[in-house]
Structure 1
Amino acid sequence: MKDMTAEGGFRYSYNSLVYAGEDLAVSVDRVARFGYDAIEVVGEPEQIDAKRVAKLTQDAGIGVSSICSIYTPERDLIHPDPDARNTAIQYVKDLVDFAATMECPTVVVHPTANMKIKALADPAQEWQWAVESIRNAGEYAAPRGVSFSLECWNRFESYFLNRLEQARRLWAETGLTNGGVQGDTFHMNIEEASLADAYRDSAGVLQHVHFADSDRTAPGGAHIDFVPIVDALVEIGYDKYISFELLPALADPFSGGRHEEFFDRYTERAIRVIRAMEDLVRTRRTLGGKG
């Protein structure tokens, strides 16, 4: 497996979520063929054989960067019903075991269900439930060598944790040391005043990064300027994964269906465009200028 950290570069991954219905053997082969260091695997332990994925990735010479957790209404870490919260905590613990089997370092965490846009209880109480639930699962993860990445979503997908400063505050309150926060450029393009500064302000606690352009396709096709973002990541010494989470322009992007451009075309474009920007930024910095 390639160790880009030793070479002073980013590590690149592609989220298999968009490879809807495809056998993971084909997905792993594609990601390896286009030069990625790892693949991000969908967080459905009952549907995906972790031991098979571990073997596939090992044979392909890549790793598993992260688990793209799927937070449905039944997986709500801040639900008012304690039994429902316990069910959600158990889901995250199951993801920890799932990740550990694949030697995957990171499980993505969001405190509530995707597309839940209204609180079901007092906000202060929900915040406390988030702290307690994440701490509970995180303490289970630590001895198993798994870290958490607390992700922010835009306001149209969640009312809870929209900006990185909120995630940093919540993470600090858990008291956990195995993990940190995560910014996704698609969500950040809606919520952050400056994407580069939001990453820069997360130095030391940035665990994982999702890249997508403003229309959630591969970088280089819409209006996000990734050069200052890449420069910020280089500046803070970010040495973990940049994973491309790309999804089609549907009201429900998780509804399935095969969208051909997200397979070979966007898989190739994503790493080519960002790797070129990384090279540009690092060259400029070596020559004494900023990216």
Structure 2
Amino acid sequence: MKRLGIHSFVWTGGGTQDELERALDRSAECGYRLIEFAYLRPEKFDLDRLGEKARSLDIEIAVTMGLPLAADVSSTDAGVVKAGEALLADAVKAVRDVGGKTLGGILYSAHTKYGAMPTERGRQNAIEAIAKTADIAKDAGVDLVLEVVNRFESNVLNTTAQGLDFIEKTGSDHVRLHLDTFHMNIEEANPAAALRLAGDKLGYFHIGESNRGYLGDGVIDFELIFDALLDIDYARNITFESFSSAVVDEALSLACAIWRDTWTDNMPLARHAKTFIELKQDEAKRRRATNARP
């Protein structure tokens, strides 16, 4: 693991500059070295100030987002696709301007529950849009990672195998997968096998529990997950993600169906997650060392 991160939605809905800066302070206080923000609109936030504060705390910034229906690059409407391409280009620039290293999330479709299968034309539009965005991201020094999510949040990429096929079709060497234990628990028959399938195409990883709450309080087998991460020599960032209606803003609550408080006090949650993840990593290393003995 390069850096252990935390999603800013653990701390705040992220509506103001001061809220984002407080999220940075609290992340640093807990010992995290990466923070994940939602799309940072340059007209709303002072990106220079935010980036300077992150650097002073030695915290790296990642940004994830989902596209709105009006900018859905998997649409068959050329105008909507064009709007999506423009939004993705702007997002890359915002990540660059804040000093971030990663843009991820549902970049290939709208973040919504669709009412129909994706069309071949729509899928091709998404592939072409991501290929264009990858060129922009490469020039900006920003990693582009596509989050594979469950069926209720996109109809384009729900499994690792679909994600690998999609990025191969972009023809770009600058697109990787963004996998998430919460989504994998829903869609993958064997999440650990899916991680091994992803291999070096895994560019960013979310750790989240099946109930979106405290790690260890759900049904995800994290021992198998961390064993698989070791097997593929994963050395990139890992970010803890947890949502509660106590903090998350209304729009995301609706998109992710956060209908209850999975927790109410975020500091104990954040401290527990860091300890839990580091413990599971250490346990996986000890298992590997034990199994390697003659």
SS in 2 for 1:40: strand
Which secondary structure state, in structure 1, belongs to the residue aligned with residue 44 of structure 2? coil
List aligned pairs for 1:145-164, cutoff 5 A: 145-164=141-160
Match of 1:3 in 2: none
Residues 213-232 of structure 1 mapped to structure 2, 5 A cutoff: 213-232=209-228
CA shift at 1:221, angstroms?
1.7
Q: Within 2, Cα distance between the matches of 1:15 and 1:116?
A: 23
Q: Which of 177, 184, 197 matches 2:193?
A: 197
CA 1:218–1:74: 2 relative to 1, 3 Å: farther
Quote the RMSD (CA, aligned, Å): 2.3
Which residue matches 1:16?
8
TM-score (norm 2): 0.88
TM-score where L is the length of structure 1: 0.89
In the alignment, the residues of structure 2 paired with residue 255 and residue 195 of structure 1 have an alpha-carbon distance, to the nearest angstrom, of 23
| CA distance 1:263–1:167, change in 2 (3 Å) | same
Greater share of helix: 2
Q: CA contact under 8 A between 2:213 and 2:263: conserved in structure 1?
A: no
What is the aligned partner in structure 2 of residue 137 from structure 1?
Answer: 133
Alignment of 1:270 onto 2:267: no
Q: Per the alignment, do residues 252 and 178 of structure 1 end up closer, same or farther by CA in structure 2, a change over 3 Å counting?
A: closer
Which amino acid letter does the alignment assign opposite residue 287 of structure 2?
A: R
**Is it true that 1:281 corresponds to 2:284 in the alignment?**
yes
1:61 aligns with 2:79: no
Contact 1:20 1:256 (8 Å CA) reproduced: no
Contact 2:4 2:239 (8 Å CA) reproduced: yes
Percent identity for Structure 1 against Structure 2: 28
**Count, aligned residues:** 280
C-alpha separation between the residues in 2 aligned to 1:94 and 1:255?
Answer: 28
Q: Give yes or no for contact 1:16–1:39 (8 Å, CA) kept in 2.
A: yes
- Supply the distance in 2 between the matched residues of 1:217 and 1:47 (Cα, whole angstroms): 30
Structure 1 residues 251, 137: closer, same or farther in 2, change over 3 A?
closer
> Aligned in 2, Cα 1:14/1:189: closer, same or farther, shift over 3 Å?
same
Deviations 1:121-153 (A, max 9, x none): x62111111111111111111111112111111
The answer to whether 1:77 aligns with 2:73 is: yes
Partner of 2:46: 49
Aligned to 1:92: 88
CA–CA separation in structure 2 for the residues paired with 1:251 and 1:41: 18
Taking the aligned partners of 1:57 and 1:179, their CA distance within structure 2 comes to 25
In structure 1, distance between residues paired with 2:208 and 2:153: 16
Deviation at 1:245, TM superposition (A): 1.9
- Structure 1 residue runs of 5 or longer lacking an equivalent are 1-8
Mean Cα deviation higher: 165-174 or 257-266: 257-266
Decide whether aligned partners of structure 1 residues 39 and 134 sit closer, same or farther in structure 2, where only a CA change above 3 A counts. same
CA distance in 2, matches of 1:75, 1:16: 24
* 1:165-204 → structure 2 map (5 Å cutoff): 165-204=161-200
In 1, Cα distance between equivalents of 2:136 and 2:257 = 29
Comparing 15-24 and 263-272, the one that deviates more: 15-24
Question: Structure 1 residue 34 and structure 2 residue 30: aligned?
Answer: yes
CA distance in 1, matches of 2:265, 2:198: 30
SS in 2 for 1:230: helix
Deviation at 1:279, TM superposition (A): 0.9
1:29-56 CA distances to partner (integer Å, 9 max, x unpaired)? 1111111111011113233322122111
Give, in whole Å, the separation in 2 of the partners of 1:47 and 1:116.
28
Give, in whole Å, the separation in 2 of the partners of 1:225 and 1:148. 28
Question: Which residue of structure 2 lines up, in the alignment, with residue 5 of structure 1?
Answer: none
1:241 maps to 237
Deviation string, structure 1 residues 55-81 (Cα, Å, up to 9, x no partner): 1111112111x2111322123111222
**Structure 1 stretches of at least 4 aligned residues deviating more than 4 Å after TM superposition:** 249-260
- Are 1:44 and 1:69, in contact at CA under 8 Å, matched by a contact in 2? no
State which drifts further: 99-108 or 187-196: 99-108
